[in-house]
């Protein structure tokens, strides 16, 4: 989120002097909006750079949540030349994302994201326009909607079976050695993402521009490099009037990642086209787009397929890893889940049709989403016409940051929000089928399109793995709660000691 602070400081000096001059001679800002609603409270910052230095911790959602205690649920900050309105409570977030959606339906992307999203050529980052509607319809029809998810069920079952077998095999080899849960889950989840997108989990591929890539390298180019690049900072994001100054190392780094991703996606697509030309069709997103969205260019095709891979491969891993961490730490709650699974499934493997009867499994999933919101901030929205949120005037030209983490930690809304307490979701007011119990999936027209898939995958894995094994944290693991990156991924992969139940 943040630029190198030294480079900001250096660039800021002449502007700081200029600002002091302006401030001396110009009248100070309005206290009421143009339509008599009050303006949003401001978090005090420095001239020119605004609040950038206060955000140096690289976990802006946490800083935003702290500021909400002083400034209230809606306040504004300045990140260089931009004014960002930060929204921190579930009520105001819903108002912004649902009621005021039409005034804030466009995206404002960082320079890194402009390149990595091929200028908004993804469902999740496009503006609310015709491209978005076409791409989203295709994505829901083939991959993420409820009928599509029914057709992809065998992929989920295979994935969970493979995870179970791998864990079992490593226990057979060494029953007391802690297991790196992420290593196993990440690899299988990536396989599922590839099958849904391209019809095949690819072991290796030759890419003309890069050379031969192993499966691990494919994962790196399509997922790891992209997650890293998405939070790469170009200080010119904050000072657009300085965009004439080159930032070569940033540009080369992002363009290289983008080039490798596109070259690899093109090679993967071409490989599958040979299969299609040979008359072999598979139920996957590539085959669907080729037959139903013929106006798409090769680049569009590559981007839309890549989108499902990256979205499948990351946030569900984050959620499942945190859920297993919490259950391994709290064995009383783990036992409760195990007994509820036994009550409904007895000696049978838990199936998706059982989920609605196992309320505690649903509670574990939603409480994990709340406490460890995988996407802690909604990508910035742009206010393209004056509007209002929380009783404040919101001027056009500002940006909106919905702090999902802040909403899910709001003390006025959640009792003891710091506590991981699945029991809170057993309250009758919660509908077991409702995927929007927290703000984790966003809200309104742009709410997460993959929430059903995320729930089916995470609940399927958590349920089956607790049925089969007793989980315990490796010594020293309890304290490892730091997060890293764009999503709230655990900094240290979860290591647990497993014991087969039977």
Which residues contact ligand HEM by CB under 6 A? 97, 123-124, 136, 139, 144, 308, 311-312, 315-316, 319, 369, 374-375, 378-379, 404, 440-442, 446-450, 453-454
- Of 366 and 464, which has the nearer Cβ to ligand HEM? 366
Please report how close the Cβ of residue 146 comes to ligand HEM at its closest, in angstroms: 14
- Of 449 and 473, which has the nearer Cβ to ligand HEM? 449
Phi, psi of 489 (to 5 degrees): -65, 145
Report in angstroms the alpha-carbon separations of 116 from 3, 297, 438. Answer: 18, 17, 29
Please report how close the Cβ of residue 234 comes to ligand HEM at its closest, in angstroms: 22
The packing angle between helices 359-371 and 298-329, to 10°, is: 110
Residues 6+ apart with CB under 8 A from 340: 358, 359, 360, 361
Please report how close the Cβ of residue 441 comes to ligand HEM at its closest, in angstroms: 5
CB atoms inside a 10 Å sphere around CB 475:
9
Do the Cβ atoms of 264 and 207 come closer than 8 Å? yes
Please report how close the Cβ of residue 359 comes to ligand HEM at its closest, in angstroms: 19
Burial class (CB in 10 A: 0-12, 13-18, 19+), 418: exposed
User: Residue 400 has which token pair?
Assistant: 């909106």
- Of 115 and 404, which has the nearer Cβ to ligand HEM? 404
Closest residue to bound ligand HEM by CB:
450
- Of 287 and 307, which has the nearer Cβ to ligand HEM? 307
Closest Cα partner for 326 from 139, 431, 481? 481
- Of 91 and 251, which has the nearer Cβ to ligand HEM? 91
Please report how close the Cβ of residue 62 comes to ligand HEM at its closest, in angstroms: 17
CA separation for the pair 461, 113 (Å, rounded): 32
Q: What is the 3-state secondary structure (H, E, C) of 263-307?
A: HHHHHHHHHHHHHHHCCCCCCCHHHHHHHHCCCCCHHHHHHHHHH
Please report how close the Cβ of residue 347 comes to ligand HEM at its closest, in angstroms: 30
- Of 12 and 194, which has the nearer Cβ to ligand HEM? 194
CA separation for the pair 318, 251 (Å, rounded): 29
Please report how close the Cβ of residue 75 comes to ligand HEM at its closest, in angstroms: 20
- Of 446 and 495, which has the nearer Cβ to ligand HEM? 446
448 is in an annotated binding site: yes
The packing angle between helices 451-468 and 331-345, to 10°, is: 100
End-to-end CA distance of the chain: 48
- Of 133 and 501, which has the nearer Cβ to ligand HEM? 133
Rounded to the nearest 5 degrees, what angle is found at the Cα of 307, between the Cα atoms of 246 and 204? 95
- Of 43 and 193, which has the nearer Cβ to ligand HEM? 193
Residues 6+ apart with CB under 8 A from 84: 76, 77, 78, 380, 398, 399, 400, 401
CA separation for the pair 54, 50 (Å, rounded): 9
CA separation for the pair 353, 217 (Å, rounded): 36
Please report how close the Cβ of residue 321 comes to ligand HEM at its closest, in angstroms: 11
Distance of CA 152 to the CA centre of its chain: 22
- Of 50 and 442, which has the nearer Cβ to ligand HEM? 442
Please report how close the Cβ of residue 253 comes to ligand HEM at its closest, in angstroms: 26
Do the Cβ atoms of 473 and 496 come closer than 8 Å? yes
Could you list the residues known to form a binding site, using ranges: 448
Could you list the residues known to form a binding site for heme, using ranges: 448
């Amino acid at each position: 989120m943040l630029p190198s602070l030294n480079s900001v400081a250096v660039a800021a000096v002449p502007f700081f002097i200029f600002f002091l001059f302006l401030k001396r001679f110009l009248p100070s800002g309005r206290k009421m909006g143009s339509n008599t609603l009050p303006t949003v409270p401001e978090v005090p910052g420095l001239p020119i750079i605004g609040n950038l230095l206060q955000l140096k911790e690289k976990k802006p959602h946490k800083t935003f949540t702290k500021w909400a205690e002083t400034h209230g649920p809606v306040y504004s900050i300045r990140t260089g030349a931009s004014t960002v309105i930060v929204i921190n409570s579930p009520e105001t977030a819903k108002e912004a994302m649902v009621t005021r959606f039409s005034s804030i339906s466009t995206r404002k992307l960082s320079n890194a994201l402009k390149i990595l999203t091929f200028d908004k050529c993804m469902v999740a980052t496009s503006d609310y326009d015709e491209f978005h509607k076409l791409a989203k319809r295709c994505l829901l029809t083939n991959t993420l909607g409820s009928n599509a998810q029914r057709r992809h069920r065998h992929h989920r079952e295979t994935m969970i079976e493979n995870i179970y077998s791998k864990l079992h095999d490593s226990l057979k080899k060494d029953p007391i050695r802690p297991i790196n849960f992420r290593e196993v889950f990440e690899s299988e989840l990536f396989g599922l993402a590839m099958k849904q997108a391209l019809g095949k989990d690819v072991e290796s591929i030759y890419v003309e521009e890069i050379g031969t890539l192993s499966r691990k390298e494919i994962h790196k180019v399509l997922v790891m490099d992209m997650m890293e690049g998405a939070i790469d900072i170009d200080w010119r994001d904050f000072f657009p009037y300085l965009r004439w100054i080159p930032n070569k190392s940033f540009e080369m780094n992002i363009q290289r990642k983008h080039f490798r991703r596109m070259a690899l996606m093109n090679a993967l697509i071409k490989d599958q086209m040979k299969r299609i030309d040979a008359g072999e069709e598979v139920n996957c997103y590539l085959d669907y787009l080729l037959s139903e969205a013929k106006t798409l260019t090769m680049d569009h095709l590559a981007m839309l397929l890549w989108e499902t891979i990256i979205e499948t491969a990351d946030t569900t891993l984050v959620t499942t890893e945190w859920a297993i961490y919490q259950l391994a730490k709290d064995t009383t709650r783990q036992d409760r889940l195990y007994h509820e699974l036994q009550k409904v499934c007895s000696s049978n493997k838990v199936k998706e049709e059982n989920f609605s009867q196992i309320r505690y499994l649903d509670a574990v999933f939603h409480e994990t989403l709340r406490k460890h919101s995988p996407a802690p901030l909604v990508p910035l929205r742009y206010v393209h016409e004056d509007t209002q949120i929380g009783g404040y005037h919101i001027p056009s030209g500002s940006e909106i940051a919905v702090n999902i983490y802040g909403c899910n930690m709001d003390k006025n809304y959640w009792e003891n929000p710091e506590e991981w307490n699945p029991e809170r979701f057993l309250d009758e007011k919660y509908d077991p089928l409702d995927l929007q119990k927290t703000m984790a999936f966003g809200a309104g027209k742009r709410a997460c399109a993959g929430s059903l898939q995320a729930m089916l995958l995470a609940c399927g894995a958590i349920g089956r793995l607790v049925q089969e094994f007793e989980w315990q944290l490796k010594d020293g693991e309890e304290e490892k709660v730091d997060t890293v990156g764009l999503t709230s991924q655990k900094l240290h992969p979860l290591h647990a000691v497993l014991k087969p139940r039977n």
